[in-house]
Amino acid sequence: MIFSNACRVIGLAAVALSMAMSATAAQAQLNVFATVPEWGALAEELGGDKVKVYVATNALQDPHRVQARPSLLARARSAQLMLATGADLEIGWLPLLQRDAGNPNILPGKPGMFEASQYVQLLGIPLSVDRSMGDVHAGGNPHIQTDPRNFLPIARALTDRLIVLDSANGSFYQDRLRSFLFKWQASIDRWTTIAQPLRGEKIWVQHDGFVYLNDWLGLVQVGTLEPSPGLDPSVAHLSAVLQRQSQLQGRMVITAAYAGDTASKWFSEKANVPLVVLPFTVGGNKEATTLETFFQNTIAHLLQAR
């Protein structure tokens, strides 16, 4: 009986130790706050089980217009690394989170604050900006996630930051990066080959959010349906755009899943051109559930409309 009780005590102690070790391992995960789905997905690719990722928005939300609600503040308060696009994409809400979260780690310039746009060449930088131009970003177009090539330098920089914040797992992050870069470059090569028929294709877009996609695939954007970025077009404006179609001869009209398609549907029907609703980020439709399937799905939709 004494031996049995001793074994039971030892067994319970072992279970308790195992639970404590598991709790310690869970606590050791790096808390990552991503503003948009693409950076959350990239953090999981590079961080594996060493990171715990929270994504503040979903693919059907306009990332320009998000409320800094209490639940986001609570997540930001405990974040060790905040991943954002930058280039003023989150200018309407992220600074409020940084100010009110009481977390000095995620303030601008701190190691816990990472802006992906700092590591790529921004396109669409306006010569001048004023309020009459709508939601124009002075530093350049922030929708860098539509070109898979941008993920290569961002992945390198993000891995460096993970190592700064979690040096004990440095070799783990470096191995994950090597694997990602090899796989991602092979995917880019494959997608670029598959998408060759799209080069030179003339397109209309509802919102000017595809300049990086155009640059990668060689799409020729002939115009936008919005009169100014972020401003919904009226029927009168769309009618004026439709008149230009006879000269410009766009072959399709593209919109993002989050933006809705009312204006694009109208134009598609009147101009008799295909409407293409692209996922725009991870989760934009039921097929685009990962970074890889996001780009696969984007190309498939464009080729189907050609």
| pLDDT score for 87 | 96
| pLDDT score for 271 | 97
Q: Greater confidence, 6 or 296?
A: 296
- Rounded to an integer, the average pLDDT of 99-115 is 97
Its CATH class, for the domain covering 25-191, is alpha beta
Q: Greater confidence, 239 or 13?
A: 239
Residue 16 has pLDDT above 80, yes or no: no
Q: What is the pLDDT of residues 267-305, one digit of tens each?
A: 999 999 999 999 999 999 999 999 999 999 999 999 999
CATH fold label, 197-305: Rossmann fold (3.40.50)
Q: What is the pLDDT of residues 125-135, one digit of tens each?
A: 876 555 555 55
pTM > 0.75: yes
| pLDDT score for 260 | 83
Work out the number of other CB atoms within 10 angstroms of the CB of residue 132.
7
Residue 12 has pLDDT above 50, yes or no: no
Q: How far apart are CA 198 and CA 306, in angstroms?
A: 8
Question: What average pLDDT does the chain have?
Answer: 90
Residue 10 has pLDDT above 50, yes or no: no
Question: Where do you find CATH 3.40.50.1980 in the chain?
Answer: 25-191, 197-305
| pLDDT score for 129 | 59
Q: What is the pLDDT of residues 155-210, one digit of tens each?
A: 999 999 999 999 999 999 999 999 999 999 999 999 999 999 999 999 999 999 99
Question: What is the separation, in whole angstroms, between the first and last Cα of the chain?
Answer: 80
